[in-house]
Structure 1
Amino acid sequence: MTGLFERGVGDAWRTLHPRVRDRYGLESGAGREAVGVGRMHELDRSPLAVPALWLGTLDDFLFPERGADVPFTIVTEPFVDDEGTEALVLRRRFETSPPRTFVDTLRWNPARGCLTDLFGRHGRVAADLHISAEDGALALSIGTQWLRVGGRYLEVPPPFSADGHLRDWYDDGENRFRVSATITNPVVGTVFEYQGAFETEFRPLEDDAPSPSALGGVALPGENA
């Protein structure tokens, strides 16, 4: 199968840095996961965003702590969802005080023609995810967002929706990956942002391991229209 990120980027996939393609070209049949270990040089947010970020901690989706030089890990594991297509679950752990976890599950959404990101352990917040290649880097942006209520999706209108961008690239001079992410809102300003660097290794997956995410069978936006 074609990896999820490769499908999202399309023909521009070949323009990505080889190390970026290696990390994000994960496929379920390869039997491996990517484990990144590094430090966030900066974790920040607007004070106005703190109440919403506290709510996010209830489902391992964002958090209110700030910090500098914060150790973190990110595990990216591919799997096959209930529709038989490639999917990914990403689990991040930030060594703040207290430590925080940020989980999301990415799946291809035929109804929307793009990736859908289901945030948190239960995926109550979802968003279109658009992926592109920029000068060898992987660039992600958040599109339309939804709240999942009673099995149905309600589109989040402005000014409550957010604008999010992430850029992940390989620094040949430092021999490590670098990442920069920003989520903003017109009312509160910077909802969440971080900048950091990490190194990656690949670890084997057990053949009989259970599905890493219960969200592989959850209906996606557009499927209940």
Structure 2
Amino acid sequence: MTIYKQALGEDFKRLHIKLQERYELPTGTKFRASGVMREISGGPKWLSPFFALAVKKKFLFPESGQYIPFTIVNHSFIDEEENLKVHWERTFFFGKKKRYFNALMGLNKENLIEDYLGEPALFYSDLICSVEKNRGMKIVSGKQRFMIGKWSLPLPRILQGVVEVFEGYNEDREVFTICVTIRNPLIGRLFFYEGEFREDDD
């Protein structure tokens, strides 16, 4: 059973059928898709040192633009400790330049998604999943920690990047839709993208 199905419980059945198929993701399988981000934008320029570090970690990036091609690969697997994990590889193509927004997700004892952002992880966040009235998926962040190797430092709310994700399915266009916003209580918007994608043919 996928970590997302466990996190949502009976509400998983309320998702649009295409989202159920996407997030079912049996162990050992991959979901591959391609699409276009209608808009990608980042935070203020004075955060460039942070974004420089994030780029090296395949986390966030400073580039912005419109109609940016991207791909996504989700891979479900069992790790060495017999825990179910899902690796996320999101690649954005700014001309010949590639940027990444990668993560490794698992499930904790409270049925919350554990999200390790970056490779190796730079940040950790609890993720709370729910189903919207339009049968889409909503994901919001909870507790967060800054990762230093195997060590972690809890982040107070004032220093967190508060995440809000909406993923849906447009039946008329037969595409998945995605909107991701990361905000900080002091700085405002740190990162944003919004677009659509289709599953790749085998």
Match of 1:188 in 2: 187
Report the residue type matching 1:179 in the other structure.
I
> Deviation at 1:53?
2.0
Give the ranges of 4+ consecutive aligned residues of structure 1 lying more than 3 Å apart after TM superposition. Answer: 48-51
Match of 2:57 in 1: 59
Match of 1:42 in 2: 39
Q: List per-residue Cα deviations over 1:160-203 (Å, max 9, x = no partner).
A: 11211111111001111100010000222110000001001375
Match of 2:145 in 1: 146
How does the TM-score come out when normalised to structure 2? 0.93
Worse-matched range after superposition: 50-59 or 72-81: 50-59
C-alpha contact 1:49 1:191 (8 A) present in aligned 2: no
Match of 1:215 in 2: none
Q: Does 1:74 align with 2:72?
A: yes
Secondary structure at 1:99 match in 2: strand
Pair 158,105 (structure 1): closer, same or farther in 2 beyond 3 Å: same
Once superposed, what is the RMSD of the aligned Cα atoms? 1.5
Q: How do residues 1-225 of structure 1 correspond to structure 2 at under 5 angstroms?
A: 2-28=1-27, 31-47=28-44, 48-97=46-95, 98-110=97-109, 112-135=110-133, 136-201=135-200, 203=202
- With CA pairs under 8 Å and 6+ residues apart, which has the higher RCO, 1 or 2? 1
Secondary structure at 2:164 match in 1: strand
User: Could you tell me the percent identity over the aligned residues?
Assistant: 27
Structure 2 Cα separation of the partners of residues 138 and 177 of structure 1: 11
> Deviation at 1:108?
1.0
C-alpha contact 2:4 2:23 (8 A) present in aligned 1: yes
C-alpha contact 2:92 2:98 (8 A) present in aligned 1: yes
How does the TM-score come out when normalised to structure 1? 0.84
Which blocks of at least 5 consecutive residues in structure 1 are unaligned? 204-225
C-alpha contact 1:41 1:195 (8 A) present in aligned 2: yes
